[in-house]
């Protein structure tokens, strides 16, 4: 290209640089805006955000700074590649240091917000699921970027690509499958890093006085790649926006969607103006500025007032259209619901999925004491965390899109909390009522059997023999205590060498007895998978044990021998009562001792 043409183009770009920097700033706001809608602190899946909190706005600001620094770093790396033969003086070290600092602040702030400012919860957030591990990987990679900048005075494109993927994984869009969403967001960021980051880097060169060292020669090289990256970013912005739109009619009825449409339209205008600029035609500064201002304002509004995905809005409207759905607002399962129990630290967690079919489902979580109505909880679906909103007392809820086979996790914040995991079966789950009844009938026919039990950390052994004989041993810190129930006589023994002592008479020993007996008939029994117990293949059946208008909060998981139909393991989940029983020695000698023989 002749020198006079380069000079003319350079002059045109220098005149438009301010406007294009504003355009890049608009895109920077657009990027975190999309991600903010998926942040667990900004909006819980299935709950419509009624407005931003101060913390939500803070996260948006921190994320905007984080994206700006990342794109600037990508732009500097691009200029280094385009100007290998030029004596460029690029401020790579301060930018890499600022990138690391911004990333650390944004990741830690997001973790603290998602865990209700609990340090233990933040650590759990950062070490569980895609969002947390992505944040840790981001900080590690940004540290490596700074180290390379200090040693070699350059920014590593490969490491920055890793940072882009980590940021996309941690802040990916909330609609659609997780990994495709991450891929779209990563390419979106990479394209923005080429054109918006490049413009920012060129502007930084002019501000820092490095333009004379080759800035004018970089422009024509940059012009050859920037338009393509710009159009890719605009196309992906439209794709991400389309994920939240149900159709043209909804754009005229939903204020959030109207804001999103305004943002996309403004970006399209910026695209047209930039195309004219890259073709070296005159473009009025006023029209470009107006389009940029619209994009900035719309993007900021979307960031602070997150757009709720279409299926979540439809699910949120479902209770108003269906009377029975209102009755399902409590934490306990209704007829036909898929329900499972587990524990998160010291807190029992009961999870119910309604209606339990592929598509949009309401997930309700019961948090038993010592959790309170103020206890915070999060739900992980496909590796991504989201906040659970309160539905009264111990109830927490969210609306999610499920296909079956997912692993759900519920994290309860605070010293009483932890993380409970649930492996969903294929949806709809097979009814397990007949299997639960037949396995109970099989167990009731046993003459003798033994049980190895762990109850909230305490270990016990039971030996049952018909008609009414029961031997119980429980291990405590100071030794073993024994009970011997023969007919209606109950004997106790407090030391291994001590004698049996008659404690009471009058009530027959309950033989046979199983921990689910007082809660029959079990409710909502479903087959949720298979496994093994002591090497024996089993079928897993989950069920709820509560009945009536004020049900007991108790859940069961039964492991049924696939060959004999007997229960080999039962797990009972209740408040402060986590019981794990393993059944063995069926119809074998029970070896129950005699009180006369010590």
CATH number for the domain that contains residue 330: 2.60.40
Residue 427 maps to a domain: no
Q: Give per-residue pLDDT as tens, 146-170.
A: 999 998 888 888 999 899 888 887 7
Q: Do 391 and 475 belong to one domain?
A: no
Tell me the pLDDT tens digit for each residue of 308-345: 444 444 444 444 333 333 334 578 999 999 999 999 98
- Please report whether residue 428 resides in a domain: no
Residues 185, 186, 191, 196, CA torsion sign: positive
Are residues 560 and 458 part of one domain? yes
Q: Give the CATH number, domain containing residue 517.
A: 2.50.20.20
If you write DSSP's letter for every residue of 412-464 in order, what string do you get? E-STT--EEEEE--BSSPEE-HHHHHHHHHHHHT-SEEEEEEEETTEEEEEEE
Q: Which helix (H) or strand (E) segment is 187 a member of?
A: helix 178-208
Q: What pLDDT is attached to residue 411?
A: 92
Q: Are 84 and 109 in a shared domain?
A: yes
What SS3 class is residue 341? Answer: strand
Domain end among 278, 313, 348: 313
pLDDT at 197 over 50: yes
Pair 157, 16 in one domain = yes
Same domain for 108 and 150, yes or no, is yes
Which pLDDT score is estimated for 68? 82
Are both 448 and 525 inside the same structural domain?
yes
Q: Is 587 a domain residue?
A: yes
288 vs 132 pLDDT, higher one: 132
Considering the domain architecture, whether residues 398 and 449 belong to the same structural domain is answered as no
| H/E element, 123 | helix 119-126
The neighbouring-strand residues paired with 470 are 464, 485
pTM of the predicted protein model:
0.55
Residue 463, domain extent:
433-597
Answer yes or no: is pLDDT of 565 > 90: yes
- Comparing 256 with 235, the larger pLDDT belongs to 235
Whether residue 185 is found in the same domain as residue 65: yes
pLDDT at 559: 98
Range ranked top by mean pLDDT from 27-31, 138-142, 448-452: 448-452
In a domain, 171, yes or no: yes
Using DSSP, state whether 227 is helix, strand or coil.
Answer: helix
Buried b (16+ CB within 10 A) or exposed e, 489-510: bbbbbeeeeeebeeeeeeeebe
575 in the same domain as 479: yes
Residue at 577 is within a domain: yes
Query: 278-295 b/e with 16+ CB inside 10 Å = b?
Result: beeeebeeeebeebbebb
- Phi/psi for 370 (5° steps) reads -85, 10
Higher-confidence residue of 433 and 119: namely 433
Q: Lowest-confidence range among 91-95, 150-154, 277-281, 445-449?
A: 277-281
Within-domain flag for 148:
yes
- Averaged pLDDT, 223-227: 79
What's the pLDDT score for residue 596?
A: 77
Cβ-contact 348, 571 below 8 angstroms: no
What's 404's DSSP letter? B
Q: Is 242's pLDDT higher than 70? A: no
> Is the same domain home to 141 and 261?
yes
Q: Tell me the average pLDDT of the chain.
A: 76
Residue 474 forms part of a structural domain: yes
With b for 16 or more beta-carbon neighbours within 10 A and e for fewer, the 36-59 pattern comes to: bbbbbbbbbbbbbbeebeeebeeb
Question: What radius of gyration do the chain's Cα atoms show?
Answer: 31
Do 342 and 489 belong together in one domain? no
**Among the three residues 370, 403, 422, which one is the final residue of a domain in this structure?**
422
Q: Is residue 296 part of a domain?
A: yes
DSSP letter at 87?
A: -
196, 75 contact by CB (below 8 A): yes
* Cα dihedral value 537, 541, 545, 549, nearest 10: 180
The number of distinct structural domains making up the chain is: 3
Are 552 and 574 contacting, i.e. CB atoms less than 8 angstroms apart? yes
Q: Report, as an integer, the average pLDDT of 36-49.
A: 36
Q: Are residues 199 and 264 in the same domain?
A: yes
pLDDT, tens digit (0-9, with 9 covering 90-100), for 517-537: 999 999 999 999 999 999 999
User: In Å, what is the CA distance from 286 to each residue of 8, 16, 203, 298?
Assistant: 22, 11, 20, 18
- Mean pLDDT for 98-104 is 91
CA distance 274 to 232: 13
**Domain end (from 368, 387, 422):** 422
Q: Rounded to a whole number, what is the distance in angstroms from the first to the last CA of the chain?
A: 106
Q: What is the distance between the alpha carbons of residues 389 and 44, in angstroms, rounded to a whole number?
A: 7
Strand ranges (DSSP E) for 215-299?
none
């Amino acid at each position: 290209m002749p020198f006079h043409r380069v000079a003319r183009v350079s002059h045109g770009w220098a005149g438009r640089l301010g406007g294009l920097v504003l355009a890049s700033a608009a895109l920077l706001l657009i990027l975190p805006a999309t991600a903010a809608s998926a942040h667990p602190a900004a909006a819980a899946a299935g709950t419509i955000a009624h407005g931003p909190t101060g913390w939500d706005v803070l996260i948006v600001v921190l994320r905007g700074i984080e994206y700006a620094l990342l794109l600037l770093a990508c732009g500097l790396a691009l200029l280094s590649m385009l100007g290998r033969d030029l004596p460029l003086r690029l401020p790579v070290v301060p930018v890499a240091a600022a990138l690391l600092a911004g990333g650390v602040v944004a990741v830690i702030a997001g973790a603290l917000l998602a865990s209700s400012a609990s340090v233990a919860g933040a650590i759990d957030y950062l070490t569980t699921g895609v969002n947390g591990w992505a944040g840790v990987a981001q900080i590690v990679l940004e540290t490596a970027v700074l180290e390379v900048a200090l040693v070699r005075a350059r920014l590593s494109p490969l490491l920055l690509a890793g940072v882009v993927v980590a940021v996309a994984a941690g802040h990916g869009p909330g609609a659609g499958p997780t990994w495709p969403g991450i891929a779209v967001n990563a390419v979106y960021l990479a394209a923005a890093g080429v054109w918006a980051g490049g413009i920012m880097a060129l502007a930084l060169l002019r501000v820092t006085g490095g333009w004379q060292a080759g800035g004018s020669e970089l422009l024509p090289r940059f012009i050859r790649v920037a338009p393509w990256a710009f159009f890719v970013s605009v196309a992906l912005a439209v794709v991400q926006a389309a994920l939240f739109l149900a159709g043209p009619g909804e754009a005229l009825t939903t204020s959030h969607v109207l804001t999103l449409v305004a943002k996309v339209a403004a970006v399209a205008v910026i695209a047209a103006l930039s195309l004219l600029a890259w073709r070296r035609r005159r473009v009025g500064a006023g029209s470009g500025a107006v389009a940029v201002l619209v994009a900035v304002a719309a993007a900021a509004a979307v960031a602070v007032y997150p757009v709720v995905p279409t299926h979540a809005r439809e699910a949120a409207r479902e209770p108003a259209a269906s009377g029975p759905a209102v009755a399902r607002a409590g934490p306990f399962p209704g007829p036909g619901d898929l329900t499972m129990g587990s524990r998160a630290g010291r807190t029992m967690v009961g999870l119910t999925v309604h209606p339990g079919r592929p598509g949009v489902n309401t997930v309700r979580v019961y948090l038993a004491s010592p959790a309170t109505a103020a206890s915070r909880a999060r739900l992980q679906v496909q590796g991504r965390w989201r906040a659970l909103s309160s539905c009264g007392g111990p109830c927490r809820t969210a609306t999610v899109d499920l296909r079956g086979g997912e692993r759900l996790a519920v994290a309860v914040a605070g010293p009483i909390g932890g993380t409970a995991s649930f492996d969903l079966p294929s949806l709809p789950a097979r009814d397990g009522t007949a299997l639960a009844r037949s396995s109970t009938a099989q167990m009731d026919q046993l003459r003798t059997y033994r049980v190895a039990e762990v109850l909230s950390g305490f270990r016990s052994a039971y030996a049952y023999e018909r008609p009414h004989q029961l031997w119980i041993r429980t291990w405590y810190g100071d030794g073993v205590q024994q009970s011997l129930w023969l007919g209606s006589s109950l004997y106790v023994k407090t030391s291994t060498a001590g004698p049996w002592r008659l404690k009471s008479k009058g009530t027959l020993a309950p033989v046979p007895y199983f921990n689910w007996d007082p809660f029959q008939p079990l409710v909502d029994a479903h087959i949720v998978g298979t496994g093994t117990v002591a090497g024996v293949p089993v079928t897993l059946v989950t069920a709820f044990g509560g009945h009536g208008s004020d049900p007991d909060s108790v859940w069961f998981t039964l492991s049924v021998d696939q060959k004999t139909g007997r229960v080999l393991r039962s797990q009972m989940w209740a408040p402060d009562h986590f019981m794990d029983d393993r059944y063995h020695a069926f119809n074998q000698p029970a070896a129950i001792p005699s009180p006369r023989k010590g």
